[in-house]
Structure 1
């Protein structure tokens, strides 16, 4: 029996290997961003609009398939869905690598996006970890995504410089195959797959989540954030190459510098937001920085030093928002509905990525680099106007806790849970013999809660 405050060796193996699978897949998606706008111009039929579509095309299929694949994994098992998704991702990489036209690359990117396995991976994490360690496992996956983005921004230009755009896509296919090997050889197989309301979509929670104004505000925000990212990666590589005079093979050092400095800048802001309970202030400040940095990029395209400074500030704002928005969602989503809210949130994110690529390409084709930056600035301003109406969120943490089976049908149990100091929300799911609760950890009486759930 392992102590409650430490993960078992199997839990650590499951969390670390699934984080690696997630990282390899996201690395494959992100590596293309810093190189498609410049190397894509060599493809047959390349136009700004089609290059923008190639950048964001993966988001179309991701948005449509994210939730269905997660629900499918409840029926046929997690591993078959994850392996199938990684095979689709590898096939998409091969299609794009062998394409000599921009349309072929778009087709490959669409196929890559069809490997929508995020929900299935999260569900598998929930199957393989105990309730008290699930947050740690999810945090490991979150950190792996951030690391993969940073590595991709550097690796993409380096690989493209050595092996061309095709080399980048071949690398994505190899990474997918490594992910399949990890799933088959390293990731434990759960004895039974469970539906976890905090890790998967629950049909009954779907419409309430779609009609919740606080969640809708967040969904709009994550869609805009990833639309800005894709649109900016239509413009930033071109600004570095054509305006600032930096060869495309050398772009890697700009992204490395920007990401390292941005991580240093974002950490104090995230700590301040959580410890001082000022998350609304930090989020709105980061949105304002996103808006302010767009004209700065436009006006500094002829100066490499100023352009790099603008890119650093862009990544500070982006990374702060990428880290704090999921935390905000966790605080706002009703108890037992976090998985559903996160599924809709992820769908919005990928839809925004698809829209941003198309928008960036279309605007660049009609109005040039300045038009892209102006458009991105207006998008950020619209987000600020909507975000400014949000209230300061409740500073609560979500838990799924086992309930004594003899008490799960006790109608008075819910009231006793809600009477515990620090418990803000709670629901009891009898078929899971579990309670989903949201608590203020600074106020919670843990001993009283334990006595309520498991009386002697």
Structure 2
């Protein structure tokens, strides 16, 4: 029996976090591996046009955006595992459909079906069921790292797999990874005693409307939509630019992506450390958007040879990685107490919608206005994003806590108000049905032991 207050993750928690991180990685690999190869290899498919290639790249985002929140809510009703198994099966079916397609329309249908396996919310909810509150952030960070790593691996492995086995081989590999994900859930991930109603990791229907009205959160939702729209549109143009302007055959593109991602990853770390330590995340974010804008203009007007394109992509991925890593953290900071799960659900929906818009718009722009039209379209979107982001406030530097409440503390009507008067506490809300209190705290000002003592000694209301 493990100590409920242990500072170390138990064996079961480690297995849950590692197993579900692996499921996420397999699924994201399958979605991302298409990015660097679809524009160059997809034109060989029957009926292909640049606009339809763009639709094939972004199509998964449409069904993912529509089904993301409903699947999460369904997992609250029928259980996490049935939803995860069904989602992975749907994803595998979509991969097989795309693998056997000989026209672009078959690939588009496969990508739409892949996106319908929208299991992100159910996986995160299962992770919450299987981890204690003090380790949940650590476990979710492992999942976040697996997504980032899968993107980097996909950029390199996608071109190599397609070079060896063609597009059909790539889609067969993604189907195999989905089935492998099911095996991991069945054999490695422990079973939860019960599904938790947990507002930090799932969507609460009562928190949905307040989340959609919150302007600070809406700015961040638009930010991730714009970021992924720019990414998808750029990946229609960049592989083609490497062939047309950089004179680099498509089989050799993998080393460009590997270089850009590796250098970009290490280059962004100092900026995140600076933003968090100096509490200047707004300035860091605005700077990264300016860099994205400059990169798109550079690609459109200057990037006419291989060296320029590689340099531009290194800078592009530095800004992209910085924004991709910092935006979820900002959502966590800005979301009200007890609203983080719902805020992240809307944020993820915006991300997938951005992927769909970027793919469709990028393909259309390339078909009508060539490569420079795609890059200038992305620059225009980045400029619009910048105008929107300038109005954001400096985010609060707070952490979310969820503390269980005794039956006596639950009866204390003034507990949340008294806690908000404690130095370092920014927000607090009692959720009676969970027998818990959600608190947003500034860890630099807060004495957590005093906070817990105050909750434990809460008087019973008369």
Interval containing the TM-score (normalised by the shorter chain) = over 0.9
Whole-angstrom distance in 1 between the partners of 2:9 and 2:317:
33
Query: What's 1:75 paired with?
Result: 77
1:264 is displaced (CA, Å) by: 1.2
1:236-385 maps to which residues of 2 (within 5 A)? 236-385=238-387
Whole-angstrom distance in 1 between the partners of 2:358 and 2:439:
37
Q: Could you list the structure 1 runs, at least 4 aligned residues long, displaced by more than 3 angstroms after superposition.
A: none
1:207-246 maps to which residues of 2 (within 5 A)? 207-246=209-248
1:411 is displaced (CA, Å) by: 0.8
Tell me the C-alpha RMSD between the 2 structures. 1.0
Superimposed CA distance per residue, residues 177-219 of structure 1 (whole angstroms, 9 cap, x where no aligned partner): 1100001111111110011111111111111111111111111
Superimposed CA distance per residue, residues 44-83 of structure 1 (whole angstroms, 9 cap, x where no aligned partner): 0000100000000000000000000000000000011001
2:98 aligned to which of 96, 103, 120: 96
Whether 2:440 is the aligned partner of 1:441: answer no
Moved more, 198-207 or 298-307: 298-307
1:139-158 maps to which residues of 2 (within 5 A)? 139-158=141-160
Whether 2:191 is the aligned partner of 1:189: answer yes
Moved more, 157-166 or 412-421: 412-421
Whole-angstrom distance in 1 between the partners of 2:173 and 2:274:
38
2:33 aligned to which of 31, 34, 44: 31
Query: What's 1:40 paired with?
Result: 42
Q: Report the TM-score, using the length of structure 1 for normalisation.
A: 0.99
Whole-angstrom distance in 1 between the partners of 2:397 and 2:6:
24
Unaligned runs of 5+ in 1: none
Whether 2:19 is the aligned partner of 1:17: answer yes
Whole-angstrom distance in 2 between the partners of 1:392 and 1:300:
34
1:409-428 maps to which residues of 2 (within 5 A)? 409-428=411-430
Whole-angstrom distance in 1 between the partners of 2:380 and 2:337:
35
Whole-angstrom distance in 2 between the partners of 1:46 and 1:129:
47
Q: Report the TM-score, using the length of structure 2 for normalisation.
A: 0.97
1:101 is displaced (CA, Å) by: 0.3
Verify the 8 A CA contact 2:417 2:428 in the aligned structure 1. Answer: no
Unaligned runs of 5+ in 2: none
1:403 is displaced (CA, Å) by: 1.3
Aligned length: 456
Verify the 8 A CA contact 1:409 1:430 in the aligned structure 2. Answer: no
Q: Secondary structure at the match of 2:211?
A: helix
Whole-angstrom distance in 2 between the partners of 1:209 and 1:447:
31
Verify the 8 A CA contact 1:24 1:175 in the aligned structure 2. Answer: yes
Verify the 8 A CA contact 1:428 1:434 in the aligned structure 2. Answer: yes
Q: Secondary structure at the match of 1:57?
A: helix
Verify the 8 A CA contact 1:420 1:448 in the aligned structure 2. Answer: no
Verify the 8 A CA contact 1:240 1:301 in the aligned structure 2. Answer: no
Whether 2:54 is the aligned partner of 1:58: answer no
Verify the 8 A CA contact 1:27 1:172 in the aligned structure 2. Answer: yes
Verify the 8 A CA contact 1:60 1:110 in the aligned structure 2. Answer: yes
Whether 2:111 is the aligned partner of 1:105: answer no
Superimposed CA distance per residue, residues 295-335 of structure 1 (whole angstroms, 9 cap, x where no aligned partner): 21123443101100001111111110001100111111111
Verify the 8 A CA contact 2:26 2:181 in the aligned structure 1. Answer: yes
Verify the 8 A CA contact 2:399 2:440 in the aligned structure 1. Answer: yes
Superimposed CA distance per residue, residues 340-387 of structure 1 (whole angstroms, 9 cap, x where no aligned partner): 111111111111110110000000000000000000000000000000
Whole-angstrom distance in 1 between the partners of 2:230 and 2:288:
13
Verify the 8 A CA contact 2:423 2:446 in the aligned structure 1. Answer: yes
Whole-angstrom distance in 2 between the partners of 1:173 and 1:329:
32
1:337 is displaced (CA, Å) by: 0.6
1:453 is displaced (CA, Å) by: 1.8
